[in-house]
Chains A and B, each alone.
Chain A
């Protein structure tokens, strides 16, 4: 079972920052936080991952709380193409399979 809790859906205005929360209160020390997204019926797309430090790449930023029990994915300037289901996943470095939850359905509003 997924080890994370996410809101089922969120709305965000185009051009604004989308902040997607994730709770992972049972995360253990060797587990990373990964984010994937799935645009309608396409394959899941890797976004970003982190252990305890905040991370940023060309797609997004990941903010992990100091106790690591929650995190936030930030899309700095959301566009209509960011409409998707976003999955927050906790897994150890060498965990092979990915266990997907239901994710958050993000609607970007024009």
Chain B
């Protein structure tokens, strides 16, 4: 069964450093998402992406964040200057543009980001 994959599984970085989190969505999917989950808290939406542009973003997704689909398979989340409060699990998700029956988001296993 096709899956969303994410790398790395765990990223440790120093405050102020740039990080790039990578995702490979399911191959025939066209909508892509990033969510995050701070330890012990709810899963929060960050951004959605379709047709090479951002469809929607949350208040969390400020100028320090950016997303890109650099090629036909990868979808990345960049944090330009990490802060301690960016420490969280980051989940990528994707869905296929199709009829409702397949209009479901599938999530990757997540990247744990630790900012020291």
A residues with a Cβ closer than 8 A to B are 34, 38, 41-46, 49, 93-94, 96-102
A43 and B109 within 8 A (CB): yes
B residues with a Cβ closer than 8 A to A are 4, 31, 33, 35, 42-45, 48, 55-56, 58, 89, 91, 93, 100, 103-110, 112
Given B56, B106, B107, which contacts A96 in the complex, CB threshold below 8 Å?
Answer: B56
Q: How far does the Cβ of B78 sit from chain A's closest Cβ, in whole Å?
A: 20
10 residue pairs, one from A and one from B, having the closest CB atoms: A43-B107, A97-B45, A100-B43, A44-B107, A96-B48, A43-B91, A46-B104, A100-B42, A43-B109, A43-B110
Q: How far does the Cβ of B6 sit from chain A's closest Cβ, in whole Å?
A: 8
Known: A43-B110, A97-B45, A97-B48. A49 touches B104 (CB 8 A): yes
Given A41, A43, A93, A96, which contacts B100 in the complex, CB threshold below 8 Å?
Answer: A93
B107 and A99 within 8 A (CB): no
Point out the residues of chain B lying under 8 angstroms from A94, CB to CB.
103
Using A38-B43, A41-B112, A96-B55 as known contacts, list a sample of 15 further A-B pairs with CB atoms less than 8 Å apart, ordered by residue number in A.
A43-B4, A43-B107, A43-B109, A43-B110, A44-B91, A46-B105, A93-B100, A94-B103, A96-B48, A97-B33, A97-B58, A98-B45, A99-B45, A100-B42, A102-B42
